[in-house]
Amino acid sequence: MKLASLKHGRDGRLVVVSRDLTRATDAFIVVATLQQALDDWERFAPALAALAEQLEHGSVPSFRFHEHDCAAPLPRAYARRHAAAWPGYPALLRQAAGAEAPAGEAGALRHAASDGFLGPRDPLTPDDPAASLDLSAGLAVITGDLARGADAAAAGDAVRLVTLVAEVIRHDRLRPDGLDLDGAEAPALAASLAPVVATPDELGQAWRDGSLHRPLLVSRNGKALGCPDAGTDLGSSLVALVAEAARHRPLGAGTLVSAGPVSNRGIDGGPGRPTAEGGAGYACLAEARAAEALTGGWVRTPYLAAGDRLRVEMKDVGGHSIFGAIEHDVV
Contact residues: a second copy, CB under 8 A: 10, 39, 76-79, 102, 104-105, 108-116, 127, 148-149, 170, 175, 177, 179-180, 182-185, 187-190, 247-253, 255
Nearer to a second copy, 16 or 45 (CB): 45
Residue 244 CB, shortest distance to a second copy, in Å, is: 10
Residue 262 CB, shortest distance to a second copy, in Å, is: 20
Residue 84 CB, shortest distance to a second copy, in Å, is: 11
d(CA 19, CA 36): 22
Nearer to a second copy, 145 or 229 (CB): 145
- CB-based burial label for 6 (10 Å; 0-12, 13-18, 19+): middle
Nearer to a second copy, 2 or 170 (CB): 170
Nearer to a second copy, 60 or 179 (CB): 179
Q: Where are the beta strands (DSSP E) in 129-184?
A: 133-143, 159-170
Neighbour-count burial for 257-289, b at 16+ CB within 10 Å, e otherwise = bbbbbbbbbbeeeebbbbbeeebbbbbbbbbbb
C-alpha distance from residue 262 to each of 48, 158, 327 (Å): 31, 23, 17
Residue 252 CB, shortest distance to a second copy, in Å, is: 5
C-alpha distance from residue 238 to each of 83, 102, 115, 131 (Å): 10, 22, 21, 31
Residue 114 CB, shortest distance to a second copy, in Å, is: 7
Query: How many beta carbons lie within 10 A of that of residue 179, not counting itself?
Result: 16
Query: How many beta carbons lie within 10 A of that of residue 222, not counting itself?
Result: 7
Residue 81 CB, shortest distance to a second copy, in Å, is: 8
Nearer to a second copy, 101 or 293 (CB): 101
CA atoms within 13 A on the CB side of 26: 7
Nearer to a second copy, 110 or 309 (CB): 110
Residue 248 CB, shortest distance to a second copy, in Å, is: 4
Nearer to a second copy, 1 or 109 (CB): 109
d(CA 30, CA 14): 10
Please report, in angstroms and rounded to a whole number, the separation of the first and last CA atoms in the chain: 34
